[in-house]
């Protein structure tokens, strides 16, 4: 992809995009929660074509229409997010801290496929810290809720609380 195209997409992320980490309850996950990463780009439905253009260039993700007159292009998952963020990192200005922090966190999480409960809690704390970098309300599920779940399941040594 040309540098000018990457720079345009990075500017789009800076202005009408977001990098998000979320804690999602998942009964099929070892510790009851999933750490989810999403890159999202937003436009009015009348400009959906530009989101389709982004998808055609990045070759990953999905575009959908929301019920509020907006369209959204989402890239979910550690590998797709890492791939796109690595391409855009040299060009991002406003969201540089989010991109650099997200890349570090993705590398850390993907390098350890079987974390201890304490390592998982450390990642959850980093997710919560990451959320503070964005202009958004606090996530529904927090480090405290994950910690309470793990303690309730007996995963945590009470002497280390």
pLDDT digits over 98-148, tens only?
999 999 999 999 999 899 999 999 999 999 888 888 876 666 788 888 888
With CA atoms as reference, report the closest residue to 38 among 125, 156, 158, 139: 139
Q: How many domains does the chain have?
A: 1
Identify the three-state secondary structure at position 39: strand
Write out the residue range of the structural domain in which residue 97 sits: 3-160
Q: What is the CATH number of the domain that holds 152?
A: 3.10.28.10
Burial 23-32 (b: 16+ CB within 10 A, else e): beeeeeeebb
- Of the pLDDT bands very low, low, confident and very high (cuts 50, 70, 90), residue 158 is low
Q: 89 and 103 in contact (C-beta within 8 Å)?
A: yes
Res. 161: pLDDT tops 50:
no
pTM strictly above 0.75: yes
pLDDT digits (tens, 9 = 90+) for 5-50: 999 999 999 999 999 999 999 999 889 999 999 999 999 999 999 9
Q: What is the pLDDT of residue 149?
A: 87
pLDDT digits (tens, 9 = 90+) for 67-89: 999 999 999 999 999 999 999 99
Length of the chain: 161
Cite the active site residues.
15-16
Q: 14 and 93 in contact (C-beta within 8 Å)?
A: yes
């Amino acid at each position: 992809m040309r540098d000018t195209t990457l720079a345009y997409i990075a500017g789009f992320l800076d202005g009408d995009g977001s990098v998000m980490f979320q804690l999602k309850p998942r009964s099929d996950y070892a510790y009851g929660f999933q750490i989810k990463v999403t890159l999202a780009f937003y436009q009015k439905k009348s400009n959906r074509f530009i989101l389709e253009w982004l998808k055609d260039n990045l070759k990953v993700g999905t575009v959908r229409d929301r019920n509020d007159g907006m369209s959204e292009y989402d890239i979910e998952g550690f590998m797709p997010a890492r791939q796109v963020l690595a391409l855009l990192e040299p060009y991002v200005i406003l969201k540089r801290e989010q991109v650099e922090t997200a890349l570090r966190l993705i590398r850390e999480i993907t390098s350890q496929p079987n974390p201890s409960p304490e390592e998982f809690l450390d990642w959850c704390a980093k997710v919560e810290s990451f959320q503070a970098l964005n202009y958004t309300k606090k996530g529904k599920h927090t480090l405290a809720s994950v910690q309470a779940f793990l303690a309730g399941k007996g995963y945590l040594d009470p002497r280390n609380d």
